[in-house]
Homo-oligomer: A and B are copies of this chain.
Amino acid sequence: MKLLSGKEIKEEIKVGLAERISSIEEKISLAIIQVGNREDSNAYIAHKKKFGEEIGAKVSVYTFSERTSEEDVISQIEKLNSDETVHGIILQLPIPEYLDEKRIIESIDTSKDVDGLTSYNVSLLYKNKKSVVPATARGVLTLLDYYDIAVQGKNVVVVGRSLLAGKPIANTLLNRNATVTICHSYTENLDKITKGADILIVACGVKHLIKENFVNNKQIVIDVGIHSVISEKDELEIPGKKYTGDVDFAEVSKIVSAITPVPGGIGQLTVACLYENLLDVYFEARN
C-alpha cells in the first residue's frame, strides 16, 4: 500500500507560490468575507490567513455579524470588486440560511472569484473550458498529477455531490476523460459501485463511511473528508484538533493499492490551491 501524502506537495507549492509572489511588484491580496462567527469558519479563515501571509500575500478578513443584511455584504463585495489592490474575493461558507448565498456569490466579480463558484466559472468548468477550479478539486488533480496517476478512460467513482467538492471533482475528472460515476445518499448498493472503481474519491462528509467491503486491492482511494475527532493539541490541518476522514483508514489501507491519509492528504492541498487560483486570476487579469 502506497501512502499518497499531501504534505510534501504542499511544501513544494508553498515555495513556488512564495517565489512567484516575491517577483511581483504589487502586493498580492485576498479578501475573505465572513458572516457570523462559526468556530470551524474561524479556524479555516485563520489557516488561510496564516498560509497567505507566509507566502507574502496580504489577506484581509471582512467579518459581518449574524444579523447583517444581504445588501451590506454585497455592498462590501462591490467595493472589493472595484478595488484594484484586491485580486481575489472569497465568501467563507456556510453563511447563515436567511441570506441568499447564490445572490451574494454572483455579486463577486468573476475575475476575482478564486473559489470558482460564480455561474460564469461553474459554467466554464461544466463546458470544459479554462476556468477557476474550486480549490478542493484542484487539490485532487494536483495530488493525482504528483503521483502520476492517469485518469483518462479510468473508472472514477466520486461519492458526494456538494458544490465545493463532489461536483467540481466529478466535472474536472470528466474533463480529463475519466469515466465518472457520481454517488450520494440515495445511491443503492454503494459498496458494489465503489468496489468497481479504479479510483475512488470520497467527499460525502460521513465519517468512516467507506469500510473494507467498499474497496478492492487494485484501487486508489482519495479521501476528501475531514472530521474532527477530539480536541487535542496536534500538528494537523488546524492546530489543536485531531482529524479523520470519510474513509475508515485502518480497515481500507490494508486492502487498497494507494490511499491518502487524513490528516496529511487532500486537506494539506486545499489552501495551497486556493492561492494558486489567486495567482492564476492575477496573471489572467493582466494578460
Contact = CB atoms under 8 A, between A and B. Distances in A.
A193 interface: yes
A117 to B, nearest CB: 9
A118 B184 CA distance: 27
Interface stretch (A149-157, A213-221, A238-246): A149-157
Contact of A179 (B118, B120, B127, B186): B186
A9 interface: no
Interface residues of A, number: 32
A7 interface: no
A164 to B, nearest CB: 11
A183 B186 CA distance: 21
Contacts of A182: 174, 179-181
Interface in A133-179: 152-155, 161, 163, 167, 174, 177-179
Contact of A181 (B119, B122, B179): B179
A79 interface: no
Contacts of A102: 127, 129
A188 interface: yes
B174 A193 contact: no
A153 B187 contact: yes
Given A179-B193, A187-B153, A123 B129 contact: no
Contacts of A179: 181-184, 186-188, 193
Contact of A167 (B119, B126, B154, B155): B126
Contacts of A187: 153, 179
Given A174-B182, A181-B182, 13 more contacts: A102-B129, A118-B123, A119-B119, A119-B123, A119-B124, A120-B123, A122-B126, A122-B127, A155-B189, A161-B174, A179-B183, A179-B188, A181-B181
11 contacts: A119-B119, A119-B122, A122-B122, A126-B167, A127-B163, A153-B187, A154-B188, A155-B188, A179-B181, A181-B181, A196-B196
